[in-house]
Amino acid sequence: MKNTRLLIVSILALVLFGTCIFFLRDLIFGGVVGTYEEAQPNMSEYRDKWITYEVTACLGEYAEETETQYFIPTGHTYYYVIWMADGSLMPLSVSKKADREYLDALTDATYDYIDGKTKRIEMEPRTFTGTIKNQESEARGYYDDLLSYWQATEADGYTVRYELMDCSESKGLYIFFASFAMLIPLGGIAIYIVNVRKEKGKKVSPEQEYLPR
């Protein structure tokens, strides 16, 4: 009975994880499908798909999010405002230290250009890969507050993009978690098979029960 429950739970978990992987297949198995410029006319078609954007200017960080597990910090997400090639503003998030260091340095270079200290932004552009999604409500609030402080809202004549270019996650991370999740029910099924074989090995025929041991 115990083995049967283990088998049922493992199969149900396998079906559940398989369904999740099916809906996230573009994130797990898909490659880059286009650039932000190609996706922009029809964002809904590019949801949960990898796209790229070449960042040439950054106006700074406006929010930070800390992920915790059992009150222990497990990761950070940093939100930046990037200044796009067409003059519009867009939020972008990263989590890697190297990405944050680049955007911080690019912010300094961008303000040197804005303040007239340099004739151009003296940093090479960098292409970021991510997905388009809605901002979390708290991060969106900080974004709106910063734009209002700058007087850089649509009411002030600026083009503002509110959908987040999320570059805080990687394809490798999705593959790792998907593989780990699939191993749990497969491990349960394997344990069930081993236990059944052990029980069969213990069973003896009626004739064998009366043989001397």
Each residue's pLDDT expressed in tens, for the chain with a length of 213 residues: 555 655 555 565 555 555 555 445 455 545 778 899 999 888 888 887 889 999 999 999 999 988 765 555 567 899 999 999 999 999 999 999 999 999 999 999 999 999 999 999 999 999 999 999 998 889 999 999 999 999 998 888 899 999 999 998 754 454 444 454 555 555 555 565 656 556 655 554 555 544 444
For residue 173, what are its two tokens? 């991370």
CA dist., res. 199 & res. 203, Å (int): 7
For the entire predicted model, the pTM comes to: 0.67
CA dist., res. 80 & res. 97, Å (int): 14
CA 5 to chain centroid: 34
Residue 190: predicted pLDDT:
54
Residue 213: predicted pLDDT:
46
What Rg value do the Cα atoms of the chain yield, rounded? Answer: 26
Residue 4: predicted pLDDT:
62
CA dist., res. 135 & res. 128, Å (int): 18
Among 56, 40, 43, 65, CA closest to 142 = 65
Element (H, E) at 40: none
Contact 42, 213 (CB under 8 A): no
- The burial of 50, by beta-carbon neighbours within 10 Å (0-12 exposed, 13-18 middle, 19 or more buried), is given as middle
Residue 107: predicted pLDDT:
97
CA dist., res. 119 & res. 111, Å (int): 11
Residues 6 or more apart in contact with residue 130 via CB below 8 angstroms:
50, 51, 53, 92, 93, 165, 166, 167, 168, 169
- The burial of 60, by beta-carbon neighbours within 10 Å (0-12 exposed, 13-18 middle, 19 or more buried), is given as middle
Residue 202: predicted pLDDT:
56
- Report strand pairing: 89-94 vs 164-166: parallel
The neighbour count for residue 166, using CB atoms within 10 Å, is 20
With the C-alpha atoms ordered 41, 79, 83, 151, is the resulting torsion angle positive or negative?
positive
Residue 174: predicted pLDDT:
47
Residue 29: predicted pLDDT:
45
Residue 172: predicted pLDDT:
46
